[in-house]
Every structure is written in C-alpha cells, then in structure tokens.
Amino acid sequence: MENERLIDFWRHFFSDLFLGTFKRLFMFGSSGLGLGILGIWSFQAYTGDSIESGWQEWSLLIFGGGWYLFWGLLHALIACAIYIVARKILEMADGLHGLLDLLTRQVMEKFKRTSKLIPRKQLEDSFNNFGYEFLERLRLKGGVTPSLARLFFALILKALRFFVLDDVLEELSRKPGDQLSSADIEHAVRRVGSNFALSTISDQFDLLQILNAVLFILFFSLPFGVFWLF
C-alpha cells in the first residue's frame, strides 16, 4: 500500500468509524423498534379474543409492549455492534499491514546493518517516532471526533509496538550470525505481519450473529408460549 493511499485509507477509516457508526445505530435501532411494534401487534392479535376482562387485556398489552420493545431494541443494538466490530476489524487488517510495512521500511533505513542484539528501547523509540510522524500527516486535529481518532490511532500504534516488536525480536534472534542486514529485519517483520490473519475472526462474528438471531426468536416467542400453556 503506497504512502498516500495509506494516509487516505486511515482518514476514511476514522471518518466512517464515527459517522458510519451513528448511521448504523439509527438504522438497526429503527429496525429493532419496528420489530418490537410488530411483536406487540402480533401478541395482541393472538391474545385479544381469549381475554374478557379489560384490565387483563391492558396488563398483557403493557407487559407485551415492554417485553417486545426492550428485546427488539436490545437485539438490534447487539446485531449492530457485532456488524460494526466485524466490519471494522476486517477493514483495519489492510491498513495495519500497510502501516506495519511503512513503519518497518522507515526503521530499516535507520538500521542499515546492525548487531543481532538490537536494544528494544532503540527499536521502540524509532517505531514511536515514525508512528507519530505518520499520525501528524493524517492531520486529525481539532474537535471531538478527530481527538477520538487520534486516541484510537495512538492505541493502535501502542498495540503494534508491544505485540509486534516482541515477535520481531524473537524472529531476529533465530537468525544465524552476529550481524543483521535490513533484509533480515524486513523478512522478520513480514513473517510476523503474515500472522495477522483475521479472516477466521469473520467466521466467529457470523456465529455470534446467528446466536443473537436464535435468542431473538426465542425471546419473541416466549410470551406466546407462556400464554398458550396457561
């Protein structure tokens, strides 16, 4: 991923992360509210002819209304959260690979040929410096949303630093000889980066959506089952 394309990717990522999240919350919330109203109407139609007392009818209507509106909205918001997190994690994979590649190339230029025992502090400082230089190039300044985006990106940099550098250093320690070339460092980082396989995560989120749908059906059918039994 080219440098400018990488910058455009992260700008679009953060723009869609916040604005897109609010839009999807509204869409999923409206759908959940609609399903709740549909559940109330179905329950009232199912029980209406069987109830003679007015207060019983109103009690069931209030109970059914609260039940269906609550669970309808809750399951819609859960489905929204699962969808957004899964989508953003998969989107972020390309950006993380590109960011890791960029930062690695910049660090490699600083360490043309070095000792096998690279001080971790030296690598961390270089990684941090280049990472925050890239953050400045995103121009995420001013306002609440850009501030949140800067915080989120800073957390990404810290995660890459803490989790990736350990693996890179471990990979470098396996190299024969006492000296390391830039090719050795590049190979180590690319090998570690290849472990960012997130496709299996998508399958896990699909299972969560299916589980959420099954629970949704169970909770919506529960009042009908209780009324039918008693």
Which residues in 155-169 are b (16+ Cβ under 10 Å) and which e?
ebbeebbeebbeebb
Alpha carbons 189 and 199: distance in angstroms, whole number: 20
Tell me the pLDDT tens digit for each residue of 27-55: 888 888 888 888 778 777 776 665 555 56
What is the C-alpha to C-alpha distance for residues 205 and 83, in angstroms, rounded to an integer?
8
Within 13 A of 146's CA, how many CA atoms are on the CB side?
10
Q: What mean pLDDT value characterizes the chain?
A: 70
- Of 162, 165, 149, the closest CA to residue 88 belongs to 149
Using alpha carbons, select from 140, 152, 138, 131 the residue that is nearest to residue 17. 152
Q: Is 143 left (phi over 0), alpha (psi -120 to 50) or beta?
A: left
> What's the pLDDT score for residue 208?
84
Q: What is the DSSP letter of 111?
A: -
Q: Quick check: 60 pLDDT over 70?
A: no
Please report the pLDDT score of residue 82 as a whole number: 81
Q: Angle formed by the axes of helices 21-47 and 54-110, to 10°?
A: 160
Residue 57 has pLDDT above 60, yes or no: yes
Please classify residue 195 by burial: count the beta carbons closer than 10 Å to its beta carbon, then call 0-12 exposed, 13-18 middle and 19+ buried: exposed
Q: Is pLDDT above 60 for 13?
A: yes
The rounded distance, in Å, linking the Cα atoms of 59 and 178 is 80
Tell me the mean pLDDT in the region 7-35: 77
Residues found in the chain: 230
Neighbours of 28 (CB within 10 A): 20
- pLDDT tens column, 130-173: 677 776 766 655 555 566 666 666 766 776 666 666 666 666 66
Query: How many angstroms separate the CA atoms of 209 and 157, rounded?
Result: 30
Domain residue spans of the chain:
3-229
Q: Is residue 197's pLDDT more than 70?
A: no
What is the rounded average pLDDT of the residues 112-133?
65
Name the 3-class secondary structure at 180: strand
The model's confidence at residue 227, banded by pLDDT at 50, 70 and 90, is low
Tell me the pLDDT band of 223, cut-offs 50, 70 and 90: confident
pLDDT reported for residue 80: 85
> Percent of the chain scored above 70 by pLDDT?
43
pLDDT tops 70 at residue 202 = no
Q: What pLDDT, on a 0 to 100 scale, did the predictor assign at position 31?
A: 85
Q: Which residue has the tokens 């472990």?
A: 195
Burial of 218 (0-12, 13-18, 19+ CB in 10 A): exposed
Strand partners, 115: 179
pLDDT at 36: 80
Regarding predicted confidence, which is higher, 42 or 104? 42
Nearest to 112 by CA among 181, 172, 175: 181
